[in-house]
Amino acid sequence: MENKNTVEFIQEKAAVMRRDVIEMGYVAGGRGAHFGPALSSIEIVASLFFKVMNHDPKEPTMPERDRFVQSKGHACLSYYSALIESGYIDKELMSTFKGDESFLSGHPSRNMEHGIEISSGSLGNGFAIACGMAKAAKIKNEDHYVYCLVGDGECNEGIIWEAAMNGAKNKLDNLVAIVDRNGVQLAGKTSDIMDVDLVALWKAVGWEVEVVEDGNDLLLVIEALEKMKNSKSGKPHMIIANTTKGKGISFMEGSLDWHARAMDKEQYDQAVSELENA
């Protein structure tokens, strides 16, 4: 059981991160933003940055740091919000999201000074890179973990399974991947587009699998991450976290319409009001 104060601290961070997502997405104006997948993954990313991972914003390239790879790069707002709230990115830069010449682009672009490990957005590619990073750490006898956030729709990509098999072959037990299983992807429900048994598939390719029934419950997410980090199975680790698309905003929750779109002033005001009164 996690210390209550620790969980409360991360809950506070997650609440601020959710507000950051709304602020950055709104400032993008007509360029829009991927609100739904960012909001569904807030608790996962907050747990990593404020509890589980070894990292230091004052020394972003320290060799022993744990690496975070956001393979589902379109959900970058959850990543940016964690980097902002942990001190890698000045909060004043939130207003530059998707702006001309801003490094806060619509998909992460590698920027080690600000804690962005890799460029991602081409689905499946980030996960393959994470497997490579974990393998490199093994070769060099480095003592750190690689954490990778993957989308459930992203699991339709063939490169995911090529990399997953390679990860199992190389016994990458320093790799923890998390599927943000929010049930909705760009073109519809994941169950309608490619109805597969993710648990069975990940087990079949040789990964240790843990299911989190509510991936927006911080305590459950932290417990799963700590369990996988401390596991002695000798296998790469997969957490399948069942989350809610657009979590925290009533008109976004479970909605395909809010996978990616622009937000108007009325919607912004309602979202802010709901977060303030949560």
CATH number for the domain spanning 79: value is 3.40.50.970
Cβ contacts of 78 within 8 Å, gap of 6 or more: 17, 21, 37, 38, 39, 41, 42, 44, 45, 70
pLDDT at 1: 39
How many domains does one find in the chain? Answer: 1
Beta strand residue intervals within the chain, DSSP E: 67-70, 146-151, 175-181, 184-185, 188-189, 208-212, 237-242
Tokens of 36: 């739904």
What's the mean per-residue pLDDT of the chain? 96
pLDDT at 25: 98
Helix (H, G, I), strand (E, B) or coil at 34: coil
Sign of the CA dihedral running 185, 190, 192, 193: positive
pLDDT at 6: 87
**How confident is the model over 4-58, as pLDDT tens digits?**
568 999 999 999 999 999 999 999 999 999 999 999 999 999 999 999 999 999 9
Say what the pTM is. 0.96
- Do strands 184-185 and 188-189 pair parallel, antiparallel, or not at all (unpaired)? antiparallel
Amino acid residing at 223? E
- Given a contact cutoff of 8 angstroms between Cβ atoms, the answer to whether 38 and 77 are in contact is yes
Domain that holds residue 12: 4-276
**How confident is the model over 83-103, as pLDDT tens digits?**
999 999 999 999 999 999 999
What does the buried/exposed string (b/e) look like for 157-190 if buried means 16 or more CB atoms within 10 Å of the residue's CB? Answer: bebbbebbebbbeebbbbbbbbbbbbbbbeeeeb
- Given a contact cutoff of 8 angstroms between Cβ atoms, the answer to whether 231 and 175 are in contact is no
Spans in the chain with pLDDT lower than 50: 1-2
